[in-house]
């Protein structure tokens, strides 16, 4: 690879010859001097060139100098190039206190002169040109934060001997429900389905004796909704563990995991997040508050909000009310809402023998649900009864029920939407802003 200096390394380098590579952010083409702001993945630097213009009196000028000036005058925003020149520290230069006097420019690929979007273009337009939109510092930071967040989570798990699995996304049967299912015509006129979650397969790892597993992978929902929190394809963070006593063991793992991951983000990117998003990343304290759903509903009612849903669950405004209550009472951004009625939970959630409520939780972060966690029912006869109660035909679930017929440990886990966590961590309005390439009912490209 060529001798390339990253922009962030310039400040600590001595004055002298240097080569930087990146894309043109702006050109200021003054009569006597030209400035180019060049950005790479680590920062931006000012390039400077004393302009050599054709003399009005016809005096011969240096041909190379004329050509360089002309080249810079014609640089379009977005052009990727390598600039060589003399690095000079100069505290008058606002951008990092250094500039580079250009000796040569090598253009890798020139941009068309008209950039189709600007930083303040509408979200949909920016998504049309996502590859240009992602050049913005804020957007670049989103994915560096994503990288740190995920690596901290995986490291947490691996230090604790979790196994990483890659469960299949092509399935012969639906994983969660028959609704919102993408169908894929398969060989010999069979039909496959895209996995809505790794639910069944991460449970399979438990009966396979894997003990503790995790997976970060795409999941698919043919969900026609256009909310700021839904996508037809999303990155799901999943973990599942054996030999638990209840969902409380899962919650304890998840809160530790999130504390570890958010701490890593705060340490590595806290200042930059403050500068670019005006957000103070708060490392959450343990334990996160827990509120049973029935109590949560009472709190919401006492705050004067009447939940219109009749199924006993919270609605988005109810979730915001609970989050506000938790913030006021405990100064915490997270809350586990627990003990959901079986009617509003999946058939495989285990039920508490005394209360009849599920051993499950939702985790809210700043008022938005990011997770459902639960202990799973591992006793096949109970599981079949619960499936029937939901109107499901156990025969259609046979491949899944088989998992529990040859021995099974008590187990549970959670699924968490990566984009929701990033959205809330960075104070964004929509998962579209924090997804590399969003997929929705009317969005399949680029």
- List the interface residues with a copy of itself, window 170-199 (CB under 8 A): 170-173, 182-188, 190, 192, 194
Measured CA to CA, the distance from residue 408 to residue 378 in angstroms comes to 6
Report residue 114 as tokens: 């008209």
One of 31, 58, 91, 109 touching a copy of itself (CB under 8 A): 109
Q: Is 82 annotated as a binding residue?
A: no
CB neighbour list of residue 439: distance below 8 Å, 6 or more residues apart = 231, 232, 233
**Residue where the block lists tokens 């002169």:** 113
The number of residues that bind a copy of itself (CB under 8 A) is: 106
Q: CB of residue 157 vs a copy of itself: minimum separation in angstroms?
A: 9
Site membership for a copy of itself, residue 303 (CB under 8 A): no
CB of 148 to a copy of itself, least distance (A): 8
The burial class, CB within 10 Å (0-12 / 13-18 / 19+), for 305 is middle
Say how far apart CA 141 and CA 128 lie, in whole Å.
20
Q: Which of residues 324-363 bind a copy of itself (CB under 8 A)?
A: none
**Residue 369 labelled as part of a binding site:** yes
Note whether 350 and 406 are within 8 A (CB). Answer: no
Rg (CA), the chain: 28
DSSP three-state, residue 292? strand
Which one of residues 175, 197, 242, 321 is an interface residue with a copy of itself (CB under 8 A)? Answer: 242
Of 383-402, binders to a copy of itself (CB under 8 A) are: 399, 402
- Single out the residue of 15, 62, 70, 164 in contact with a copy of itself (rule: CB under 8 A): 164
Please, what's the largest Cα pairwise distance for the chain?
A: 98
Interface stretch with a copy of itself, choices 46-54, 111-119, 300-308, 314-322 (CB under 8 A): 111-119
Tokens standing for 240? Answer: 């599942």
Give, as ranges, the residues between 199 and 238 that touch a copy of itself (CB under 8 A): 201, 204-205, 207-212, 217-218, 220, 222, 224, 232-233, 235
Is there a contact between 296 and 322 (Cβ–Cβ < 8 Å)?
yes
Structure-token match 């490291």, residue found: 155
Task: For the segment 67-106, give every residue that binds a copy of itself (CB under 8 A).
Answer: 76, 78-80, 82
Q: Pick from 104, 7, 12, 26: which is nearest to 64 by CA?
A: 104
Taking the complex as a whole, the smallest distance from the CB of residue 25 to a copy of itself amounts, in Å, to: 10
Q: Which residues are annotated as a binding site for ATP?
A: 369, 417-420
Q: Which residues are annotated as a binding site?
A: 176, 221, 369, 372, 376, 417-420
């Amino acid at each position: 690879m060529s001798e390339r200096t990253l922009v962030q390394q310039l400040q600590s380098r001595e004055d002298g010859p240097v080569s930087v590579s990146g894309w043109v952010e702006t050109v200021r083409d003054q009569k006597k001097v030209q400035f180019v702001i060049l950005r790479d993945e680590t920062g931006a630097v000012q390039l400077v060139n004393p302009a050599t213009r054709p003399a009005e009196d016809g005096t011969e000028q240096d041909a190379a100098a004329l050509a360089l000036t002309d080249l810079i005058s014609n640089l379009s925003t977005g052009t990727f190039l390598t600039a060589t020149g003399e690095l000079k520290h100069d505290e008058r230069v606002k951008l990092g206190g250094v500039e580079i006097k250009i000796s040569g420019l090598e253009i890798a690929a020139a941009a068309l002169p008209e950039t189709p979007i600007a930083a303040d273009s509408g979200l949909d337009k920016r998504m049309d040109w996502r590859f240009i939109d992602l050049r913005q510092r804020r957007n670049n930071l989103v994915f560096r934060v994503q990288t740190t967040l995920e690596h901290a989570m995986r490291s947490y798990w691996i230090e604790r001997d979790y196994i990483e699995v890659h469960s299949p996304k092509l399935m012969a049967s639906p994983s969660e429900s028959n609704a919102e299912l993408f169908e894929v015509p398969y060989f010999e006129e069979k039909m496959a389905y895209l996995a809505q979650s790794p639910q069944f397969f991460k449970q399979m790892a438990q009966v396979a004796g894997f003990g503790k597993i995790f997976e970060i992978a795409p999941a698919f929902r043919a969900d026609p909704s256009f909310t700021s929190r839904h996508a037809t394809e999303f990155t799901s963070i999943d973990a599942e563990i054996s030999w638990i006593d209840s969902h409380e063991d899962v919650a304890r793992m998840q809160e530790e995991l999130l504390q570890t991951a958010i701490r890593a983000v705060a340490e590595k990117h806290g200042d930059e997040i403050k500068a670019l998003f005006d957000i103070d990343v708060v490392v959450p304290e343990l334990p996160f508050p827990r509120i049973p759903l029935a109590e949560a509903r009472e709190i919401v009612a006492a705050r004067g909000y009447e939940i219109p849903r009749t199924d006993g669950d919270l609605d988005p405004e109810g979730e915001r009310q609970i989050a506000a209550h938790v913030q006021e009472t405990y100064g915490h951004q997270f809350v586990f809402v627990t003990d959901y009625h079986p009617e509003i939970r999946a058939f495989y959630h285990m039920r508490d023998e005394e209360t009849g409520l599920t051993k499950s939780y939702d985790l809210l972060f700043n008022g938005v649900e990011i997770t459902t966690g639960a202990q799973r029912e591992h006793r096949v006869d109970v599981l079949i009864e619960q499936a029937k109660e939901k109107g499901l035909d156990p025969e259609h679930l046979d491949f899944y029920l088989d998992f529990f017929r040859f021995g099974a440990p008590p187990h549970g886990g959670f699924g968490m939407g990566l984009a929701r966590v990033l959205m809330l961590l960075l104070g964004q309005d929509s998962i579209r802003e924090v997804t590399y390439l969003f997929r929705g009912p009317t969005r399949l490209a680029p």
